[in-house]
Structure 1
């Protein structure tokens, strides 16, 4: 039997197909009861889509079924139907499962899931804090206060507390400052957990030998890449992260455009940040030389993205070989 399971927040639509491609059963099941369904069809193959809540469901089903997680974007590309309903999606998953054609998505280990939760949670808190800092800037602008103020700095918040604004804006300002203080405390608390976690993993210890890579950036790189042995070569890693150039060929013409931007945006962002730090702050000889050579031909943004790609290739070989950062042609 082959099961296609279309997952939603509280329920799943299930289609069961036999070896001949005949539909055996269609049923809607509460997610809490999927374990019973899995036991009923124990030993069967199943396909689910990589949704936001698939980890727990994958683990539950895998106790009894051979589960493949489908990559959502690739699934849309190969699906042979334009209709989008729960029943249609479930049947399509079952069909692809039967044909052994499910575009597989990586399922991270528990260790990597925990690392992702930490770094992504911290990133969300930082985004929320920035949102309230922007609210304060807007509030000050509405009252003609043009002095440059940094609500995220201690000095900036001290200045803001001394301001006198008419109500209700003064109350709003106090509320925004309180939220920023609370978020800052929580970010610092997560930083401690991230430092502990990164310090305990061999992979992140290796990554932190790179100039410009800290506890947070090392853990994010590790969390977003996952197990390095699932890649056979550095080009696969570059493509997975979306730093590979888009190349279009037609006849005798060949055009190389920007990067594909597939994969994790977080990973591309942190690699660019690390490359910036390595080149402009830490003055890493290997990456700085590469960046300077490109900066004379391309824009600074193009040069730093290419440097981030160069850094990623080094990261792949470091993790693959279990070696510290030791680029060629650099005196140590």
Structure 2
């Protein structure tokens, strides 16, 4: 048991060192990280990984995770409404992978280009049933 505990502590120490190095390397991109983290479902750490992995093969799973978090976000139901609308035509997996993850990446691109925070232009929820809107506002 002592060996397992020692190994566990060693792994946590390595993670701390890596987090510190990652934060030092990401300092020049701090402005972009703050912009990207204004998107629902994208945290500071997720934004850092997205910036680090742009063009890499591991970007898609990360965007899918952010998409899942975005559709579950209670504060900003923008992606939830988009997801519900897309899910009527497609299944859950395609709605998340193809649509929501792609939307997040496109928003990040335009936010970086214009240096603006997340502010969806389609926030007119008038086409959504009033009771569904009230349910998500609670």
Q: TM-score range by the shorter chain?
A: 0.7 to 0.9
Once the two structures are TM-superposed, the CA of residue 217 in structure 1 deviates from its matched residue by 1.1
Query: Of residues 93, 103, 113 in structure 2, which corresponds to 1:320?
Result: 113
Structure with bigger gyration radius: 1
Q: Confirm or deny that 1:183 pairs with 2:11.
A: yes
Distance in 2 (CA, whole Å) between partners of 1:279 and 1:302 is 14
Conserved 8 A contact 1:224-1:267: yes
Conserved 8 A contact 1:198-1:216: no
Unpaired segments ≥5 residues, structure 2:
125-138
User: Which structure has more strand as a fraction of its residues?
Assistant: 1
Q: Confirm or deny that 1:294 pairs with 2:80.
A: no
Residue 204 of structure 1 is matched in structure 2 by: 33
CA RMSD of aligned residues (A): 2.4
TM-score, length of structure 2 as denominator length:
0.73
Q: Using the TM superposition, name which of 274-283 and 308-317 deviates more.
A: 274-283
> Which one has more relative contact order, counting CA pairs under 8 Å at least 6 apart?
2
Aligned residue-pair number = 122
Q: How does 1:69-218 map to 2 (within 5 A)?
A: 161=1, 175-195=3-23, 198=26, 201-218=30-47
Once the two structures are TM-superposed, the CA of residue 321 in structure 1 deviates from its matched residue by 0.8
TM-score, length of structure 1 as denominator length:
0.33
Conserved 8 A contact 1:194-1:215: no
Distance in 1 (CA, whole Å) between partners of 2:113 and 2:79 is 20
Distance in 2 (CA, whole Å) between partners of 1:211 and 1:265 is 23
Shift in alpha-carbon separation, 1:294–1:187, aligned structure 2, 3 A: same
Distance in 1 (CA, whole Å) between partners of 2:70 and 2:76 is 5
Query: Of residues 70, 73, 89 in structure 2, which corresponds to 1:278?
Result: 70
Conserved 8 A contact 2:26-2:48: yes
Conserved 8 A contact 1:272-1:308: yes
Distance in 2 (CA, whole Å) between partners of 1:300 and 1:197 is 36
Conserved 8 A contact 2:71-2:83: yes
Conserved 8 A contact 2:50-2:62: yes
